[in-house]
Amino acid sequence: METSKTNSTGTRVLDFFKRWLEHRYLPAILAIGAILVMLPALKIDLAVDDLMQRAVELKPSQLPLRMHEAGNPADSGSFSTVLRDLFGFSRDPQNMALMKSYGTLPWWTPDNFRFALWRPVTAFTHWLDYRLFPDSPMLMHAHNIAWFAAIVFLVTIIYRKLLGAGWVAGFAALLFLLDVNTYFPVAFVANRGFFLSLFFGLLCLYEHHQWRSAKSRSGLVLSALFLALSLLTDEGGASTFAFILAYALVLEPGSLRNRALTVLPSILVIVLWRTIYTLSGFGVFHMGLYIDPVYEPLEFGREVIPRVMVLLGSQLTSVAPEVLSTVNPILQPKVVAFFCLPVVAALVVFLPWLRRDKTAAFWFAIMVLAAIPASTVVPVSKNLGFVAVGAYGLIASFVAGLITRPSRLPKGLAYRIPAWIACVLLILAHVPGAAAGRVAVVKVAPLLFNRMCLLSDLGDWPNIENENVIIINALPLALVHAPSYKAYHHQPLPRTLRALVPAGTSFDVERTDDKTLVIQSKAPDIFSCDNVGPINSAYASRTLNLLVGEPQCKKGDRYDLGGLTVEVLETDAADLPSRVAFRFNTSLDSPDFHWLRFDWQTRGYQPYQPFKIPAIGQSVTLSGPHPKEEIEEKKLK
């Protein structure tokens, strides 16, 4: 009797849940839910890239002196400049030279380095922010959240369009809403473009379906328009093509020729966009974090498969792909294999269902195809939006098939047991697991954003604007953000800001004469990271150092920065510098210099305890990052 009552209660709960997922107003309900789950982000202040964009949005009169020397556009604040230069660095080689001379970009930045992104539609939304509420980060976050709510509304409608109005579509949309990977990107104002591209990409899919299913000519025109808008909001909008190609491969009837013709309009839009993009000087080149397939096809070919597997494994398990960058490089191939395991296992379990259900195969194709453009960047969760659309459509379809139509699947226990295990694990990972993850990131996010800002905090002291700040070992990405951080906090900029070597390894600093320092890395090269255990945030810092590249050098190579000459004295087997001389035009003891070093124990620069330059003929050793156990032991002592 007791068991019967329990079963009856469980059945009623499931029936209620199904009716709720089939509610006619579910798209609006989930959109409101998207707003509610993102409300904690309203309290987060602007950080890192947000601050760089803010500097481009403001007029020179609203910024500290020397912002242009540090790389900010000379005509910042103008509408055309915001649309053109809000993302990345200027396309102008002279401006890049200014940044290297001032020190915003370090001396080792390759001469052909380029990082200029064309996102005019997204830039326009930020321009509106700074015209309507320039001093309100809360409203800027609210703007992001509004777009996220619109995406949840739209993705629910599309799931219903292709999966039917039943509970399966509602379940897929609920999974998308709960996705833990969306919190950080939405909470980061500068990431708005990723969600705008997804919003227009979903509109493109909707209109493409209208064109192909209802033969609507307006659907064809609107589909092409929304694809163009997706590309003009973010390069990640190229993943919109995954929607179109998957539709042609799986859902489109007819011959191969007819299917190819349905893809042709999208190809023409992409080719036109890319042509204008390239001819206008935009693009990414010689930057370790990004690989442009057009400029570096061989490099992209080497990296695409492991990056795709990490992205897919992350999406299926809810384990953040950023985990990879915190792992010891020696162990990273094993971590990639770890991400591969759930992908391979899922493929084995899904395959019988994919053969029997075209819609499930469509979502699977989207998931895989969308991961390819996303892999142009090192695996990060903010690039999983398009992948998530396919993944959750596939997961919901598979779960529904296993529960309601088991007869369409293999009957043997050799399949049924793994299939049910996969079903349970997927539900646990993406419902209670994702909900718990969202609670955790709400608490972690403010701390993380605050820590990211502090890495750019060089301090403020009297007469700083008349001094040259020299950082022995620095985090290059933090220095890129340092001028905009100072501008946000109304602090003056130093005369110059120079980083000598990256902060990743231990090294000796020797003063050979009155004006010269020689740095000898303890590791094979100055770009190495010390072995600090299997997992450490220092490895992530090493990955971020790749933002400005790693130059291949020859012994004797010189870099003249004006007031400082850098000479490579020795290199390792990979032609990376291991011993470098820094010759200044004036004595190292000059009061014009303010010497800093990055301290791994405090994760800061200790600006009020300047680094003491050794006497002539003397040297000092600076330590790299420490294992966590070692730091805790020192604290206890």
User: What whole-number distance in Å separates Cα of residue 292 and Cα of residue 296?
Assistant: 6
DSSP codes joined into one string, 248-316? IIII--S-HHHHHHHHHHHHHHHHHHHHHHHHTT-EEES-TTB--TTT-HHHHHHHHHHHHHHHHHHHH
Question: What is the mean pLDDT, run by run of 10 residues, along the chain of 637 residues?
Answer: 54 80 92 94 89 94 90 90 86 80 87 86 96 94 96 96 91 94 87 94 96 90 96 94 96 91 96 93 79 86 93 93 88 92 92 91 96 92 93 94 81 86 92 88 83 83 90 84 91 92 90 94 87 84 73 85 91 89 94 90 76 92 72 38
Say if residue 608 is exposed, middle or buried (CB neighbours under 10 Å; 0-12, 13-18, 19+): exposed
Distances (CA, A) of 253 to 213, 250, 394: 10, 8, 21
**For residues 143 and 140, what is the distance between their CA atoms, to the nearest angstrom?**
5
Q: Residue 251: CB partners within 8 Å, gap ≥ 6?
A: 212, 358, 359, 362
For 322, the 3-state DSSP assignment is helix
Look up tokens 């800001």; give the residue.
497
Q: CA-CA distance, 346 to 535, in Å (whole number)?
A: 27
Distances (CA, A) of 166 to 157, 169, 424: 12, 6, 21
Q: Which residues make Cβ contacts (< 8 Å) with residue 519, sequence separation at least 6?
A: 472, 500, 501, 507, 508, 509, 510, 526, 579, 580, 582
C-alpha dihedral, 456 to 459 to 465 to 466, nearest 10°: -120
* Contacts of range 585-591, beta carbons closer than 8 Å, 24 or more positions apart: 585/515, 586/515, 587/514, 587/515, 588/511, 588/514, 588/515, 588/516, 588/517, 588/613, 589/514, 589/613, 591/467
- Per-residue model confidence (pLDDT) at position 634: 41
Residue-wise DSSP of 480-546: HHHHHHHHHTT-PPPSEEEEEEESSS-EEEEEEETTEEEEEESSSSTT------SB-HHHHHHHHHG
For 27, residues 6+ apart whose C-beta sits below 8 A from its C-beta are 152, 153, 154, 156, 157, 160, 173
Closest-CA residue to 566 (of 499, 612, 627): 499
Tell the burial category of 474 from Cβ atoms under 10 Å away from its Cβ (0-12, 13-18, 19+): buried
Q: What is the pLDDT of residue 611?
A: 87
- For residues 159 and 417, the answer to whether their CB atoms sit within 8 Å is no
Cβ 493 vs Cβ 617: under 8 Å: no
CA distance 308 to 301: 11
CB 114 within 8 A of CB 304: no
**What is residue 584's three-state secondary structure?**
strand
Identity of the residue numbered 275:
T
Residue 373's identity, in one-letter code, is P
Give the whole-angstrom CA distance, residue 57 versus residue 529. Answer: 36
C-alpha to C-alpha distance for 445 and 541, rounded to whole angstroms: 18
pLDDT on residue 637: 39
Q: Could you tell me the strand order of the sheet in which 558-560 lies? A: 558-560, 564-571, 577-584, 516-521, 507-513, 619-622
381: DSSP letter: G
Neighbours of 280 (CB within 10 A): 12
Residue 152 has a pLDDT of 97
Q: Which string of b and e fits 538-565 if b means at least 16 CB within 10 Å?
A: bbbbbbbbbbbbbbebeeebebebeebb
Helix axes 332-356, 358-374, angle to 10 degrees: 150
* Residue whose C-alpha is closest to residue 387's, from 201, 120, 544: 201
The pLDDT assigned to 635 comes to 38
Single-letter code of the amino acid located at 447 = L
Task: Write down the pLDDT at residue 633.
Answer: 36
Rounded Cα–Cα distance for residues 628 and 192 (Å):
35
User: What Rg value do the Cα atoms of the chain yield, rounded?
Assistant: 27
Pair of tokens at residue 480: 């890129």
